[in-house]
Chains A and B, each alone.
Chain A
Amino acid sequence: MSLADGVRGDLKLTGLHKRYPNGFVAVQSLDLVIPQGSFFALLGPSGCGKTTTLRMVAGLEDVTKGSIHIGEQDITTAKPYKRPVNTVFQNYALFPHLTIAENVAFGPKRRGVKDPKGSVKEILALTELTEQANKKPAQLSGGQQQRVALARALINRPDVLLLDEPLGALDLKLRRAMQIELKRIQEEVGLTFVHVTHDQEEAMTMADTVAVMNEGRIEQLGAPYELYTNPHTTFVANFLGRTNLIKGTVLGREGSGADEVVKVDMHGTVASIKASRVHTDAKEGWVGIRPEKVLIQPEGQAIDAPGAALSGAVVVDVSYIGVSTDYVLRMPWGQEITCFEQNTGRRGGLIPVGTKVDVSWRPEFAFLLDSAQDAEAGIVEED
């Protein structure tokens, strides 16, 4: 196990740049440190450069500029088979002519492990594949093949395990089960996992840290909670969940330190936004509020939020989903915003379409984004 036990350390990408021969720039000067032992997700829409980044780390794609280090070791130009890195491929890429056990033993054998039987047995048990050891990949279900791909990589105990959309080919139910399974295995083996996905829910449930990528750059990096509650760009706000963006004019700042707020005028109503949640210096901005943070009441009734409420909104659509109800509201200036309300039973029914409502939220949940950014950036169709 000399290769895997040698270095160990953080995965460090410095000024990583990828330009394809046809001129397409997939990754632009990426700087990233992925701490050893963490579960890290690269999240973004297709074509954002996340898979290219992964393949550069694996050595399957040449680096145009920049460097890749694991700990102190520079692996930028190392051959793929000389890197302490293994990949779980999107389509699994299992060797069809070898049995499951042979597939799993492939890595150890190439590294000169004389008798890998013991470790093969161990890893097959960990991934619940003992029964399948002597079968061929074609005889296995999608979920089982996925676990073989994982076992084949894990057995080498690489410094970094790369997962390229590993759950993309599975159906929803299996995907949920495998998310928990992957998380469990990562905690058990304690290796660095770098997970590439376009599924924001998958990234948020599994990863300790998520980097949201767009057009070859990292838009924002942080813990899932931080990314969701305090997005820095419209892209992140829209790509992770849904958001309402209301045009506002900055009036000025009040208070200081942790209590500093920015006053914003939204079509005549003034809102206060914490300075730590303001991500623009311009005069104009997008006031962002997540649909589940939006509070509504029929006109004139009290809302459980301090400060002024936006009035004159009309309910134009109601979707009852059981646990919650989605309301679409038309604001006096014509914009439609959404509101998700938990069906706690307090309201004792639904607000009918056509009702005039007041709209508000707790000020600590709002955020302010650069108005030069596209309000539609990062919106994806649900799949």
Chain B
Amino acid sequence: MITRLGSWIGKHLMLTLGILVLIYMYVPNMIVALMSFNDSSQSRNLYTFQAFTWDNWLNPCEPQGMCEALQVSISIGLLSTIVATTIGTLAAFALVRHRFEGRSTMNLMLFLPMATPEIVMGSSLLALFVAAGFGGQLGFWTILIAHIMFNISFVVVTVRSRLAGLDSNLEKAASDLYANEWQTFWRVTFPLVFPGILAAALLAFSLSFDDFIITNLNSGTTVTFPMFVWGAAQRAIPMQVNVIGTLMFIIALAIVIAGEVMSRRRAKGKAAAF
């Protein structure tokens, strides 16, 4: 029996390893999903599963301040994503399509914020805000400024790589086929670069939603969702945090699956003739 199991594993070594890696990656998410159904009122030990309940899902905003914090995080996430994606995409086009003085310096300087430790960037920003006289106004707007700042680098890098892989002959072909600059951009360039822009936007949102260190240093009295979780963890994490965590995971999963389905359908060429 054991030898048979051994030979099966031997034959399916790659598959086995793959499954193990996937389990390793997804167990935390599963635990979070499970704990979102935990009835914590039964016991003081919050980290063990006590009894099944729908309560957490039915009253997600019960813990005081959590949904307000969530709202702040989502607002900052969306705003910083829109602004950073716009600026970053334009910058990526400039860097790939035009040769200008200081282009390589610009490339390096865009990369630096990604390599800078967050704690350094966060404290520098705080020093800057205080020096500029905004020490008393730390909050939503200073967090937003900080998030836009670090998101731009990630957007530029993501969009740039997509754009660099785009054959510039396609745009020449479009203009050869009577498309003016505007039509060339919207009919050819944008549809082909769009997956890159979308990926950059998703990355920007999750980076912003996630950020703790820079945010914590520049938030004043404003509380974002990660800060709320951190604060709550000092005492006892409300089970509703798991509800939010599971929801975010499901949304991310849905976006990835939708993207996959769309690209498969595109690859199969099922689109109508006109």
Interface set, chain B 232-274, CB cutoff 8 A to A:
266-267, 269, 271-274
Return A247 CB to nearest CB of chain B, in Å.
47
Find chain B residues with CB under 8 A from A107 CB.
177-178
Residue in B closest to A80 when the chains form the complex, CB atoms? B175
A340 to B180 alpha-carbon distance, docked (Å):
55
Find chain A residues with CB under 8 A from B203 CB.
none
Interface set, chain A 98-115, CB cutoff 8 A to B:
99, 101-102, 105-107, 110-111
- Say yes or no: is B173 at the interface (Cβ < 8 Å to chain A): yes
Q: Given that A93-B167, A111-B178, A117-B274 are contacting pairs, would A87 and B173 also be in contact in the complex, using a CB cutoff of 8 Å?
A: yes
Return B97 CB to nearest CB of chain A, in Å.
15
Q: Contact flags (1/0) for A55-99 with B, using CB distance below 8 Å?
A: 000111000000000000000000111100111010101111101
A153 to B274 alpha-carbon distance, docked (Å):
18
- Say yes or no: is B110 at the interface (Cβ < 8 Å to chain A): no
- Say yes or no: is A152 at the interface (Cβ < 8 Å to chain B): yes
Interface range on chain B: under 10, 10 to 19, 20 to 34, or 35 or more? 20 to 34
- CB atoms of B178 and A95 under 8 A apart: no
A323 to B192 alpha-carbon distance, docked (Å):
53
- Say yes or no: is B179 at the interface (Cβ < 8 Å to chain A): yes
Find chain B residues with CB under 8 A from A156 CB.
177-178
- CB atoms of B273 and A102 under 8 A apart: yes
- CB atoms of B176 and A91 under 8 A apart: no
* Stretch of A129-137, A178-186, A286-294 with 4 or more beta carbons under 8 angstroms from chain B: A129-137
- CB atoms of B191 and A97 under 8 A apart: yes
Residue in B closest to A112 when the chains form the complex, CB atoms? B178
- CB atoms of B178 and A81 under 8 A apart: yes
Find chain A residues with CB under 8 A from B175 CB.
59-60, 79-81
- Say yes or no: is B72 at the interface (Cβ < 8 Å to chain A): no
- Say yes or no: is B170 at the interface (Cβ < 8 Å to chain A): yes
Find chain A residues with CB under 8 A from B273 CB.
99, 101-102, 133-134
Q: Interface residue count for A (Cβ, 8 Å)?
A: 36
- CB atoms of A136 and B267 under 8 A apart: yes
- CB atoms of A81 and B179 under 8 A apart: yes
- CB atoms of B177 and A110 under 8 A apart: yes
A329 to B246 alpha-carbon distance, docked (Å):
86
- CB atoms of A93 and B173 under 8 A apart: yes
- CB atoms of A81 and B269 under 8 A apart: no
Residue in A closest to B192 when the chains form the complex, CB atoms? A97
- Say yes or no: is B3 at the interface (Cβ < 8 Å to chain A): no
A105 to B167 alpha-carbon distance, docked (Å):
20
- CB atoms of B174 and A106 under 8 A apart: yes
- CB atoms of B176 and A95 under 8 A apart: no
Return A22 CB to nearest CB of chain B, in Å.
12
Residue in B closest to A107 when the chains form the complex, CB atoms? B177
- CB atoms of A79 and B180 under 8 A apart: yes
- CB atoms of B177 and A106 under 8 A apart: yes
Find chain A residues with CB under 8 A from B64 CB.
none
Interface set, chain B 157-181, CB cutoff 8 A to A:
167, 169-170, 172-180
Find chain A residues with CB under 8 A from B178 CB.
3, 81-82, 107, 110-111, 156
- Say yes or no: is B207 at the interface (Cβ < 8 Å to chain A): no
Q: Given that A3-B178, A107-B177 are contacting pairs, would A60 and B269 also be in contact in the complex, using a CB cutoff of 8 Å?
A: no
Interface set, chain A 112-153, CB cutoff 8 A to B:
117, 133-136, 138-139, 152-153
Residue in A closest to B184 when the chains form the complex, CB atoms? A81
- CB atoms of A93 and B169 under 8 A apart: yes
A139 to B178 alpha-carbon distance, docked (Å):
26
Find chain A residues with CB under 8 A from B167 CB.
91, 93
Return B196 CB to nearest CB of chain A, in Å.
13
Return A198 CB to nearest CB of chain B, in Å.
19
Residue in A closest to B179 when the chains form the complex, CB atoms? A110
- Say yes or no: is B229 at the interface (Cβ < 8 Å to chain A): no
Q: Given that A89-B169, A110-B183 are contacting pairs, would A152 and B269 also be in contact in the complex, using a CB cutoff of 8 Å?
A: no
Find chain A residues with CB under 8 A from B78 CB.
none
A106 to B272 alpha-carbon distance, docked (Å):
15
A111 to B178 alpha-carbon distance, docked (Å):
6
Residue in A closest to B177 when the chains form the complex, CB atoms? A107
- Say yes or no: is B83 at the interface (Cβ < 8 Å to chain A): no
- Say yes or no: is B79 at the interface (Cβ < 8 Å to chain A): no
Find chain B residues with CB under 8 A from A79 CB.
175, 180
Find chain A residues with CB under 8 A from B266 CB.
97, 136
A60 to B177 alpha-carbon distance, docked (Å):
12
Find chain A residues with CB under 8 A from B172 CB.
60, 80, 89, 93
Residue in A closest to B172 when the chains form the complex, CB atoms? A60
- CB atoms of B170 and A93 under 8 A apart: yes
- Say yes or no: is B127 at the interface (Cβ < 8 Å to chain A): no
- Say yes or no: is B188 at the interface (Cβ < 8 Å to chain A): yes
Given A95-B174, A134-B269, A134-B272, 7 additional A-B pairs, CB 8 A: A3-B178, A81-B175, A93-B173, A95-B170, A97-B192, A106-B187, A107-B177
B residues in contact (CB < 8 Å) with A? 167, 169-170, 172-180, 183, 187-188, 191-192, 266-267, 269, 271-274
Query: What are 26 A-B pairs with beta-carbon distances under 8 A?
Result: A58-B176, A60-B172, A79-B175, A80-B175, A81-B176, A81-B177, A81-B178, A81-B179, A85-B176, A87-B173, A89-B172, A91-B167, A93-B172, A95-B170, A95-B173, A95-B174, A97-B192, A97-B266, A101-B274, A102-B274, A117-B274, A133-B273, A134-B271, A135-B269, A136-B266, A152-B177
